[in-house]
Amino acid sequence: MTDSRMRIIASVGLVLGAVLGIAGTFAPDAALRGLAWGVDGTALVLAAALLMVHHLRLGNDMMAAGYAIFGIGEALIVSGSAVELTASGPVFGAGSALWAASLALVSAPKVLPSLVRGFGFIASILFTIVALQIFAGRALTPLSSPLPFFAYPFLAASLLGWAWALLRPGKGSSR
């Protein structure tokens, strides 16, 4: 697969993940939410795998590791997509912890634009709080408010920023 094709496919996966992830959060019933989150999660695992390969080829090892961890965390999250919300809590906590770690690793190197990195760091902090609360025994679901509900926009902004960075013309870090 050419690098150009890989970047396009990964970007489509990231955009699908961001849009369907947020859409699933507002879905009127559990079946529609499960469908949106299932497709969202699958698209993000695919994108994360392609991003890992892309950044390994560029020598961005920390980012590649971050994308690998993101894919693992997303696989955990997607495993609870069609499960009743309270039943998905422990798996969601583990996935949130991996999201937090991955967002920090991807955002640490000065490869992505500062704004995208900032969204990633904010999302990382918020999902760290979510994971710690779940690990400490608090009964949070993927739709609990204020967290994780208000962390999702920062995750979505990060995903859209990653897609934009992959497709922007003339930037050596994304080619």
CA torsion 38-39-43-45 (nearest 10°) is 10
Estimate to the nearest angstrom the gap between the alpha carbon of 170 and the chain centroid: 25
* pLDDT per residue as tens digits for the range 156-174: 999 999 999 999 976 544 4
| Calpha distance 145→36 (Å, rounded) | 20
Q: Compute the average pLDDT of residues 56-64.
A: 97
* pLDDT per residue as tens digits for the range 71-123: 999 999 999 998 999 999 999 999 999 999 999 999 999 999 999 999 999 99
| Calpha distance 165→160 (Å, rounded) | 9
What Cα–Cα distance (Å) separates residue 30 from each residue in 77, 81, 116? 15, 9, 31
Closest among 27, 39, 136 to 89, alpha carbons compared: 136
| Calpha distance 142→139 (Å, rounded) | 10
Estimate to the nearest angstrom the gap between the alpha carbon of 63 and the chain centroid: 13
The predicted model scores a pTM of 0.94
